[in-house]
Structure 1
Amino acid sequence: MEETQMEEKCNSVTNGIPIEEKESEETQTMEEKDSYTQPEVAPALIALHPFDQSVAVTVGSDLRIFNLAKNCPVSLADQSKEVLHKDSIRAIRFSDNGKLLVSAGDDKLVKIWSAETWQCLCTVNSEKRVSAVAISKDEQYVCFADKFGVIWIVDLVGLAEDQSVTEKKAVAIFGHYCSIITSLEFSPDGRFIVSADRDFKIRVSVFPKNPLKGVHEIQSFCLGHSEFVSCLTFVCNPNFPQGFLVSGSGDSTVCLWDVTSGSLLCTSEVGREANLSEESHPAVTDLYATGDGSLVAVAIQSLQGILLLSCDLSAKKLSTLKVVYVPGETFIPTKLGMTLSGSLLWMVTGASNLPGSKESSFARIRVVSDFKKSSHESDPEPRVLEDTEIPEGEKLLEKLQGSVSVDSAVFTAAAEALNSAMSSLLRKKQYSDEKRDFRKKTRNDKKFKQ
């Protein structure tokens, strides 16, 4: 009798873990692995030519461009073996001089386009999926970061003149220790390249004269966020040409930094200021500043519109100005864009690979007018334009959004799916000691050794 009870007790425990708990952990691990095979939900992105020449929107692998100057859609020409992008685009931006457009993403391709002829100047192959891109002020270098925390550089000198060059190799210049890079920015004076990651860090690196040999000198670290850093932008004006850094985070805050010293100058709790739930801690998803550095637009999860922050560079202070809501529909921006004039703020929402939806990908664009800091009470307030009021109106929207009409419920589902995807990717998971040991034992490299 005692032997039978001992056998039952031994059979109910394996490696010190009860069978029920072990089966539960194995099932959960299998579910996690299955989730990796599913296409990741990717947000729609938008980029504006600095001189109002064109607007670019990406959703999934689709890159859509409209020429504002000529009032017509743009057809991209790619002479390389790769045909455009094959997977979700995760980063897109114009150079400050407006001559280049760079797109990159999950297909491990970085494509550098001429924003004048719309030819693909070259394609760069990345070892890992790309998460962020930046273009140097002189347009000589393109930097991109991958999900393993490595920052790479591509030399563009002579690229436009030599039409025979269709591929270039990237050189690794520095990295964050196995942490996803979420954002890359050059400082206004070009002295620094700033990189942010999921581990709450912002690294300010000195950009050398010959960066192909590596970026070894760290100017400072900007430390103060308690969750992943999601986005970066600089604010500057003639009195402060070197600028100050503004960062958004998963902790529902926006911070102002002195990059030279790494000092935290001001913190704005934007989630609370926008009257969003403090328990959920909605992440800041994007930031954009006016050319004079007086205003910063903030996109936040669950906020149907944008929060405007007033930026006083002399006082080194951020303060909440107002919330601009999008009327009449569910619209939670996934990306913001603006030209140097700063008169219009462009917003996009949308997603690709949305589970359970008939639409594989979709995008919706809205535009905020009079996006300037008002010094007179009689000046018009920022407002969301109707579709007919948007520059080039229906023709532009048909190209950038597509002609398919999407139900508002789909936008709500997309917002929830994007929030979940961002949280799963960037919020660090917490495990018990037992589960951590179990996950170590079931790693693929451990299985191969066995």
Structure 2
Amino acid sequence: MEEARMEDECNTETNGTHLEERETEDAHVMDERESNSPTEVAPALIAVHPFDESVAVAVGPEIRVFDLGKNSSVSLADDSKGMLHKDSIRAMRFSERGKLLVSAGDDKLVKIWSAESWKCLGTVNSEKRVSAVALSKDELYVCFADKFGVVWVVEIAGIAENQALSNSKAVAVFAHYCSIITSLEFSPDGRFIVSADRDFKIRVSVFPNNPLNGVHEIQSFCLGHSEFVSCLTFVHNSAFPEGFLVSGSGDSTVCLWDVTSGSLLCKSEVGREADLSEECHPAVTDLCATSDGSLVAVAIQRQLLFVLFSLQGILLLSCDLSARVLSVLKMIPIPGETFIPTNLGMSSSGDLLWMVTGASNLPRSKATSLARVRVMSGFKKPASNEAYLEPRVLEDREIPGGEQLLEKLQGSISAESDIFSAVADAVNTAMSNLLRKKQYSDEIREFRKKTRNDKKFKQ
């Protein structure tokens, strides 16, 4: 008996030693894999003031602003802490009334800026990295989503009058189930907040009078995409003030939705209808609608495997709100260097579509960040019986603000096409890695299970 007990203890100790060695070996393998993984590339963003007063570009942690009214560059100031963002910005937008600019990103900070004095009015700390932001129509609340799938709200009443945001904490109001939220958008009447995620879902939630108590009522789900939903926008006009939702996805489609019922009204196969290869399924990266809701500009991701069929331009969709139909109108090519837009922007009353391509943390590049701005005209709302002007890409000298604006928003860059081709490829890879579900081997899956920090141990 005693010999058997001692043998069991010896076997247990030996097995424990082997297990510790195996776990150490597995940890070393995982550490090696993580150390060899590339730095996450962050695409350049652009935001246009609703009344064409200014344009902002974000590249990495840097925000570059140009005042179109004064025809001069702008310097942001954060008097509270004396620092701006410390890591890549992932979301940036103006409020609908144009008084505020909000930026947020990988440094887990949500910063609210005055669009008049360009001072930081307040900083909100997020528990995790931020992936999307939205401002309520009345400028009373800022909502932001993190990469764990939680949507937070912070009250900012009075901040638009340059009152500092003091002691305001973000409150978790609803969540998607452990899925990265890619886009947040308020409906035109402010009744709903719409959230999209990488698991193909679009949730429409009723935004209550006091959202700090939670956003508990789900109006509908818009289900119909087969890949991650990358972007959202609304199309509306005086005849349809509530408007309809437009969504873009990694499945190379653009969909039109009735958010009240969650009904899919129309699906446009933008890859196929733009005469691309049937095997080519590039992701839709951004959407931008004209103020009357009749046109939707679509930015489509560069396709790595089928370069001959990649889109270098903007696809225009015609939107008939009365018939509830989306249809491909035309492709507007962007001449010159390789330019695959990473983000689009348009004012609520303007004639211009602003586009930016670029990224930060580029692999094997001497430049820490690159950005290139282009502008397309011909979107001004026509008279009742007139057609839209022919959209065209402006030359650099024709852009409002001219060389001064480009120098501010782009910085000093080289315009060689191969550089921006590399940028497009890097952004494409980064988006695929971030938004498409990762597939793990059995070995890595088992290791992840063993190292989960939320597993329970029985006493």
TM-score (normalised: structure 2): 0.88
Distance, in Å, in 1 between the alignment partners of 2:363 and 2:200 is 30
Q: Contact 1:124–1:167 (CA<8 Å) still a contact in 2?
A: no
Distance, in Å, in 2 between the alignment partners of 1:108 and 1:435 is 28
Q: Which residue of 1 aligns with 2:364?
A: 356
Q: Which residue of 2 aligns with 1:307?
A: 315
Could you tell me how far 1:358 is from its partner in structure 2? 1.3
Distance, in Å, in 2 between the alignment partners of 1:261 and 1:160 is 34
Q: Which residue of 1 aligns with 2:206?
A: 206
Q: Secondary structure at the match of 2:75?
A: coil
Equivalence map 1:394-433=2 (5 Å): 394-431=403-440
CA deviation map 1:131-182 (0-9, x unaligned)? 0000000000000000000001110113355745455311111111111000
Q: Which residue of 1 aligns with 2:332?
A: 324
Aligned pair in 2 of structure 1 residues 319, 128: CA closer, same or farther (>3 Å)? same
Q: Which residue of 1 aligns with 2:78?
A: 78
Tell me which amino acid in the other structure corresponds to 1:105.
G
Aligned pair in 2 of structure 1 residues 138, 446: CA closer, same or farther (>3 Å)? closer
Q: Contact 2:337–2:415 (CA<8 Å) still a contact in 1?
A: no
Aligned pair in 2 of structure 1 residues 319, 164: CA closer, same or farther (>3 Å)? closer
CA deviation map 1:250-296 (0-9, x unaligned)? 00000000000000000001122233444342110000000100000
Distance, in Å, in 1 between the alignment partners of 2:325 and 2:428 is 29
Q: Which residue of 2 aligns with 1:105?
A: 105
Q: Secondary structure at the match of 2:34?
A: helix
Distance, in Å, in 1 between the alignment partners of 2:392 and 2:260 is 36
Q: Contact 1:90–1:130 (CA<8 Å) still a contact in 2?
A: yes
Aligned pair in 2 of structure 1 residues 238, 355: CA closer, same or farther (>3 Å)? same
Q: Contact 1:123–1:166 (CA<8 Å) still a contact in 2?
A: no
Could you tell me how far 1:439 is from its partner in structure 2? 3.9
Equivalence map 1:46-65=2 (5 Å): 46-65=46-65
Distance, in Å, in 1 between the alignment partners of 2:440 and 2:244 is 37
Q: Which residue of 1 aligns with 2:35?
A: 34
Equivalence map 1:257-296=2 (5 Å): 257-296=257-296
Tell me which amino acid in the other structure corresponds to 1:428.
K
Q: Contact 1:294–1:373 (CA<8 Å) still a contact in 2?
A: no
Distance, in Å, in 2 between the alignment partners of 1:114 and 1:164 is 10
CA deviation map 1:184-220 (0-9, x unaligned)? 0000000000000011000000000110000000000
What are structure 1's unaligned runs of at least 5 residues? 1-13, 15-21
Q: Secondary structure at the match of 1:418?
A: helix
Q: Contact 1:105–1:129 (CA<8 Å) still a contact in 2?
A: yes
CA RMSD of aligned residues (A): 2.5
Identical amino acids, percent of aligned pairs = 76
Q: Secondary structure at the match of 2:365?
A: coil
Equivalence map 1:189-200=2 (5 Å): 189-200=189-200
Aligned pair in 2 of structure 1 residues 261, 172: CA closer, same or farther (>3 Å)? same
Q: Contact 1:235–1:246 (CA<8 Å) still a contact in 2?
A: yes
Q: Secondary structure at the match of 2:185?
A: strand
Tell me which amino acid in the other structure corresponds to 2:202.
I
Q: Contact 2:223–2:262 (CA<8 Å) still a contact in 1?
A: yes
Q: Contact 2:45–2:57 (CA<8 Å) still a contact in 1?
A: yes
TM-score (normalised: structure 1): 0.89
Q: Contact 2:371–2:413 (CA<8 Å) still a contact in 1?
A: no
1:184 paired to 2:192: no
Q: Which residue of 1 aligns with 2:394?
A: 385
Distance, in Å, in 2 between the alignment partners of 1:378 and 1:130 is 41
Tell me which amino acid in the other structure corresponds to 1:397.
L
What are structure 2's unaligned runs of at least 5 residues? 1-14, 16-22, 303-310
Q: Secondary structure at the match of 1:367?
A: strand
Distance, in Å, in 2 between the alignment partners of 1:69 and 1:201 is 40
Aligned pair in 2 of structure 1 residues 107, 273: CA closer, same or farther (>3 Å)? same
